[in-house]
């Protein structure tokens, strides 16, 4: 709190002096200045409260820098005048006068508490604001959680240190890097993963949506084991790619024909290349915060690795702004029906329908990036919303776990890739039809049923609603959850969102729960009601801890006294401090702080 200037002195009653917080420690005790004159006052004065520890046989000599009187509120003391050697007994109800230059020794103190008046000026103490104090507590808790994390994960640390010798930052996948070092795993089963240190975690990352069927799904692993006996990659076509292509095509009415590749990034790259080739145009409309792979990212910080197409960026879900960007030289509009890495933000049906109509109007191709969102409905969000794109891209879970990507669309578009045509686009890839992925993909496709999808979505809705209702119970928007079905994105607001995010992550880890560090969450088919309840219990405990900190600070505010500055010292100066009653001004500050925190505006 900042010092206040009061120009008209008033007479008040000092209450509860003995319980004022100590602001400065000095010698055998501590003190807090309550009032002070202004720096340029002709008659400067400082008054405050001094609380002294019990001790005997003191020898320290104190030379008064100014005239001072100490009024003893309680306790007893023995003083010695160092110049004359006189012994002075100063007990409750008495006062000691210490003129400037006098030299005294406080020999003995027992329960000593005094109210002092000094003829000097002293600036107000720099005391933390309630917000600063709260953040300091959060920082303290975060530091403790990080220390616990380090102590429990020595094997992950050793792996990280070894990785630093061979890879930049010890990392080969940027999303998996975080401080102090990433948690490393050795195995996974269903919706649980086990760290190198042998700790088991309830997993809500699900390999960033790729492990939809659960880790080490027995049907998929069996299919991979059987495929091993027939070779890994044979350098020619196989039966598996035909069967998997048919199973995928049956799911998505927008796909007449498709091609395989090795990732969602590759799928989107090829879809854009296909669109520019077919339309003979160069311009591509994408959207802010969209993510279409490692080299097609449009987040807050532009990626230098983004392919240098002629991109124009619209605003997701903003029809009016997007209208200003449309023209008949656009080759493609690429969009996620729900932005994934951008925070699990669903596109509105009106916005996506507008894109469909606009693509048709301007002769552009509409590309739905359903690498993630195709898990949310058997025919993807395009089927759920009833909006058909020209090209669909797939990846992640569709391959059952191994590296996978695919892109497909209408016959007339995909014909541009038909190698029987002399003008066909080339599309190669050593592992496009590798036996592992084809076998795992076929097994996964047979596990992909609407009933399983509905169950995962229902649990995801419960989880997302539980997070938001927990925050609503405390009246705070500082943590919120968005998404659709089994995909959840956590968002952190307020003055220190990173502290809230990191604090939650380390707290959940301490409770054996693993989520994406940035707030990413994805359920898989192995999750059950009990797993949702476990997360919500841990999340509620974290929020409870934050609220307790705030309530503690309200009490802190209610008895916090900073120096009040006066133009001229009045005959009697005081401030009412009643921690049981709480004066309106103090209570108002406490309420303002709590309201500001809840509104995410503490500064």
Mean pLDDT value of segment 493-506: 86
CA angle 524, 528, 529 (to 5 degrees): 130
| The pLDDT value given to residue 125 | 56
| DSSP codes, 29-69 | EEEEEEEEE-TT-SS--EEEEEEE--BSS---EEE-SS-EE
Closest CA to 161 of 184, 132, 141, 143: 184
Whole-angstrom distance, CA of residue 288 vs CA of residue 336: 11
Closest CA to 259 of 76, 417, 490: 417
Higher-confidence residue: 393 or 560?
Answer: 393
Cis ω for the linkage preceding 180 (within 30 of 0): yes
Q: Is the pLDDT of residue 600 over 70?
A: no
The answer to whether 314 and 286 have CB atoms below 8 angstroms apart is: yes
Q: Is the pLDDT of residue 456 over 50?
A: yes
The first and second tokens of residue 164, run together, are: 């630093």
| The pLDDT value given to residue 589 | 46
Mean pLDDT value of segment 245-257: 97
Q: What is the pTM of this model?
A: 0.74
The total number of residues shown for the chain amounts to 603
Share of the chain above pLDDT 70, in %: 83
Mean residue pLDDT of the chain comes to 86
| The pLDDT value given to residue 244 | 98
- 286 phi, psi to nearest 5 deg: -120, -175
- Per-domain boundaries in the chain: 45-125, 130-214+452-551, 218-448
Helix (H) or strand (E) segment spanning residue 139: helix 130-152
CATH 3.40.50.10480 fits 45-125, yes or no: no
Note the pLDDT tens digit of each residue in 400-455. 999 999 999 999 999 999 999 999 999 999 999 999 999 999 999 999 999 999 99
Strand order in the sheet with 200-203: 185-189, 192-195, 200-203, 513-514
Whole-angstrom distance, CA of residue 293 vs CA of residue 269: 8
Helix (H) or strand (E) segment spanning residue 91: strand 87-91
| The pLDDT value given to residue 33 | 78
Note the pLDDT tens digit of each residue in 173-182. 999 999 999 9
479-to-208, 463, 472, 494 alpha-carbon distances in Å: 21, 14, 10, 9
The answer to whether 127 and 33 have CB atoms below 8 angstroms apart is: no
The first and second tokens of residue 173, run together, are: 């996948």
The first and second tokens of residue 131, run together, are: 């917000």
263-to-160, 171, 393, 396 alpha-carbon distances in Å: 26, 19, 10, 7
Mean pLDDT value of segment 32-40: 75
582-to-547, 556, 575, 576, 586 alpha-carbon distances in Å: 20, 11, 12, 9, 6
- Strands 257-261 and 61-63: what pairing? unpaired
Three-state secondary structure of 431-499: CCCCHHHHHHHHHHHHHCCHHHHHHHHHHHHHHHHHHHHHHHHCCCCCEEEEEECCEEEEEECCCCHHH
CA torsion angle 18 19 25 31 (round to 10) = -50
Spell out the residues 6+ positions from residue 268 whose beta carbon is closer than 8 angstroms to its own: 292, 293, 296, 334, 367, 369, 371, 393, 407
585-to-17, 557, 574 alpha-carbon distances in Å: 18, 10, 15
CATH 3.40.309.10 fits 218-448, yes or no: no
| The pLDDT value given to residue 124 | 58
| The pLDDT value given to residue 529 | 98
Whole-angstrom distance, CA of residue 250 vs CA of residue 237: 21
Note the pLDDT tens digit of each residue in 204-229. 999 999 999 999 999 999 999 999 88
Note the pLDDT tens digit of each residue in 90-131. 999 999 999 999 999 999 999 999 989 998 887 755 555 555
Whole-angstrom distance, CA of residue 370 vs CA of residue 397: 11
The first and second tokens of residue 300, run together, are: 């807050």
DSSP 396: G
CATH 3.90.1150.10 fits 130-214+452-551, yes or no: yes
- Residue with tokens 């006066």, as numbered in its chain: 566
Mean pLDDT value of segment 177-192: 96
The pLDDT-based confidence of 602 (bands split at 50, 70, 90) is very low
Closest CA to 559 of 539, 538, 536, 575: 575
Q: Is the pLDDT of residue 511 over 70?
A: yes
The pLDDT-based confidence of 20 (bands split at 50, 70, 90) is low
- 118 phi, psi to nearest 5 deg: -120, 140
| The pLDDT value given to residue 494 | 77
DSSP 175: G
| DSSP codes, 329-377 | TEEEEEE-SEETTTTSEEPPHHHHHHHHHHHHHHTPEEEEE-TTGGGGS
| The pLDDT value given to residue 47 | 85
Note the pLDDT tens digit of each residue in 314-372. 999 999 999 999 999 999 999 999 999 999 999 999 999 999 999 999 999 999 999 99
Note the pLDDT tens digit of each residue in 554-593. 444 433 333 334 344 333 323 333 333 344 444 454 445 4
């Amino acid at each position: 709190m900042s010092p206040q200037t009061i120009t008209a002195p008033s007479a008040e009653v000092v209450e509860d002096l003995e319980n004022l917080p100590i602001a400065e420690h000095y010698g055998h005790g501590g003190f807090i200045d309550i009032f002070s004159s202004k720096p340029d006052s002709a008659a400067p004065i400082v008054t405050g409260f001094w609380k002294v520890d019990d001790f005997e046989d003191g020898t320290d000599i104190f030379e008064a820098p100014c005239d001072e009187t100490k009024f003893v509120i309680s306790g007893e003391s023995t003083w010695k005048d160092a110049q004359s050697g006189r012994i002075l007994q100063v007990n409750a109800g008495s006062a000691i006068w210490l003129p400037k230059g006098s030299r005294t020794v406080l020999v003995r103190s027992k329960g000593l508490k005094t109210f002092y008046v000094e003829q000097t000026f002293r600036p107000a103490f720099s005391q933390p604001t309630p917000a600063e104090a709260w953040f300091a507590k959060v920082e303290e808790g975060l530091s403790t959680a990080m220390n616990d994390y380090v102590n429990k994960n020595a094997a992950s640390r050793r792996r990280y240190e070894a990785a630093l010798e061979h890879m930049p930052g010890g990392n080969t996948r940027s999303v998996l890097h975080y401080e102090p070092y990433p948690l490393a795993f050795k195995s996974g089963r269903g919706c649980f993963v086990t760290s190198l240190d042998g700790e088991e975690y309830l997993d809500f990352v699900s390999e960033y949506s790729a492990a939809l069927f659960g880790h080490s799904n027995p049907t998929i692993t069996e299919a991979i084991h059987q495929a091993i006996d027939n070779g890994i990659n044979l350098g020619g076509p196989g039966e598996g790619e035909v069967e998997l292509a048919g199973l995928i095509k049956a799911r998505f009415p927008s796909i007449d024909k498709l091609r395989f590749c090795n990732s969602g990034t590759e799928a989107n790259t090829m879809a854009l290349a296909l669109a520019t080739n077919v339309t003979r145009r160069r311009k591509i409309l994408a959207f802010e915060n969209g993510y279409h792979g490692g080299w097609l990212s449009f987040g807050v910080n532009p990626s230098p690795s983004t392919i240098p197409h002629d991109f124009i960026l619209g605003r997701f879900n903003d029809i009016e702004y997007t209208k200003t960007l449309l023209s008949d030289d656009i080759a493609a509009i690429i969009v996620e029906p729900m932005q994934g890495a951008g925070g699990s933000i669903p596109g509105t049906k009106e916005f996506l329908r507008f894109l469909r109509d606009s693509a048709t109007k301007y002769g552009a191709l509409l590309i739905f990036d359903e690498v993630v969102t195709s898990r949310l409905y058997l025919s993807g969000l395009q089927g759920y919303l009833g909006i058909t794109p020209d090209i669909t891209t797939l990846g992640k879970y569709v391959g059952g776990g191994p590296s996978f990507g695919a892109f497909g669309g209408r016959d007339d578009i995909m014909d541009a890739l038909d190698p029987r045509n002399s003008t066909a686009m080339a599309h190669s890839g050593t592992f496009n039809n590798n036996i592992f992925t084809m076998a795992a993909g076929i097994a996964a496709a047979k596990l992909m049923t609407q009933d399983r999808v509905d169950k995962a979505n229902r649990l995801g809705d419960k989880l997302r609603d539980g997070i938001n209702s927990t925050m609503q119970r405390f009246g705070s928007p500082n943590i919120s959850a968005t998404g659709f079905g089994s995909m959840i994105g956590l968002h952190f607001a307020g003055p220190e969102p990173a502290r809230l995010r990191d604090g939650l992550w380390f707290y959940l880890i301490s409770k054996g729960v693993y989520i994406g560090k940035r707030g990413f969450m994805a359920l898989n088919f192995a999750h059950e009601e009990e797993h949702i309840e476990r997360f919500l219990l841990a999340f509620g405990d974290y929020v409870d801890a934050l609220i307790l900190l705030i309530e503690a600070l309200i009490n802190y505010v209610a008895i916090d006294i900073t120096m009040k500055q006066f133009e001229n010292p009045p005959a009697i100066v005081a401030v009412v401090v009643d921690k049981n009653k709480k004066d309106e001004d103090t209570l108002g500050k406490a309420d303002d702080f709590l309201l500001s925190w809840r509104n995410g505006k503490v500064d």
